[in-house]
Amino acid sequence: MDKVVASPEHAVADIEDGSTIAIAGFSVGHRFATSLILALREKGTQGLTLVCNSLGDPGATRGQILAENGQVKKLIAAFSVRPGTPTASEDQIAAGTMEVELVPQGILVERCRAGGAGIPAFYSPTGVTTDLAKGKELREFNGKPYVLEPAINVDYAFCRGYRADRLGNVQFRGGSQNFNPSFAKAARCAIVEVDEIVEPGEIPPELIDLPGIFVKRIVKTTQVSDGKAWRRPERRPSDKARLYNDKPALTRAGIAKRAAALVKEGTYVNLGVGIPTMVSNYLQERDVILHAENGVLGYGRMVSEEHEIDPDIYNAAGQFVAVTPGASFFDSVTSFEMARGGWIDTVILGAYEVDQTGSVANWSTADAKRGGIGGAMDLLSGKGDLIIVMEHSDSKGRPKLRRKCSYPLTGKGCVSYVVTDLALLRWDKDHFVLDEVAPGFSAEEVMALTDMDVTPASVVKTMA
């Protein structure tokens, strides 16, 4: 039983127009099945439905190059567009030529896992209070509402592994399992691109992450990664403060540092994309274990020097990180079991808006077809504290602390703390309390820059 095929072109040769393809991979482009994606672009197959985390940035050797080539008719993903990153897919979505189904990240992998397991549907707590639950069946269990989610099955899956044997047994490395196992199981034909192909028996049985029964074809990659391209530029320097009333507020790094001080000892913590990722730099020597949705438990500071970078060790934002003693790796299904199951003690996320009911909006500024849910809704369906970190006003100077969120909700009545570049707010039963303000600012100034109703503490302190 030899599942090795001669080339990526041979591996995709029978993919027909109208096929549904799941493309595994998480954030960092060099750990996608780039050889298979390029081969499919050259083949020119039309009318594709893609299931993926996101299509990626312009020109990225991910699903985006298939969209640029006019091959995609439908997208099922956790991210359809990203702010400030114009893409061919965004133009097609806006024009109505690409259909979109946005799915929370953890539900996306769970729907594929269910499809591979022969389970047609399941009930989930994720997104119950959001626009994504509209039109879906709701049912109560033990007094809590849950939404019915259908399984996903696909024709093909493009996966990327570290190595495989000729029987189709696959080993992943580090945090690069992510969506691969669940996508492979959901597929009629899973094709796995690997760095190395070995003979049966050369991979110890306990290191096989995806048994060959789920894999139809194995192909060796033809794409070589450039280590210099692994490092991702920061959109805005973390040490550049915004001005309010002609005075500097905290920097983005300062926001992260203050949020880190709210984290309790002996806890498991998930950090979102953006400012939250910087929190890891301020948790050194703390009794805290960090969790990432791509499948890492126990990572530390971000690393940027080439000699420190391991291409398979990165956080949910695609930033390379160091691991801590006792770290473990797993797939995204297991990662979101930890989130929805209530095992995560604290979640730290960025946001577009927080309102005075403790609700948060952080995934879309338009509608349910154009945005990036990521794993936020799954993370909020757990029971831990939620710390929101963000700048006090948006790029147009409008308050982000509002009486009512104007954007689609990510979660309702779920915020525990808000840390901005001007203030620390704490949720107290039914309202927010202003506990601290940035150096050089008064409580009155900060409240004047805030749209929501806030109660100042009896003594408002200065943020460290």
Amino acid 230: pLDDT: 53
> pLDDT of 207-223, one tens digit each?
999 999 999 999 999 98
Q: What are phi and psi of 433, to 5 degrees?
A: -110, 130
Q: Is 140 considered catalytic here? A: no
The domains of the chain, with CATH numbers, are 8-221 (3.40.1080.10), 244-462 (3.40.1080.10)
Distance from C-alpha of 296 to C-alpha of 313, rounded to nearest angstrom? 8
Containing 231, the helix (H) or strand (E) segment is none
Confidence tier at 407 by pLDDT (50, 70, 90): very high
Q: Residues of 159-173 as b/e, b for ≥16 C-beta within 10 angstroms?
A: bbbbbbbbbbbbbbb
Distance from C-alpha of 267 to C-alpha of 290, rounded to nearest angstrom? 9
> pLDDT of 282-319, one tens digit each?
998 899 999 999 999 999 988 888 889 999 999 988 88
> pLDDT of 150-168, one tens digit each?
999 999 999 999 999 999 9
The one catalytic residue among 68, 90, 149, 293 = 293
Distance from C-alpha of 120 to C-alpha of 114, rounded to nearest angstrom? 7
Q: What are phi and psi of 253, to 5 degrees?
A: -65, -35
Confidence tier at 99 by pLDDT (50, 70, 90): very high
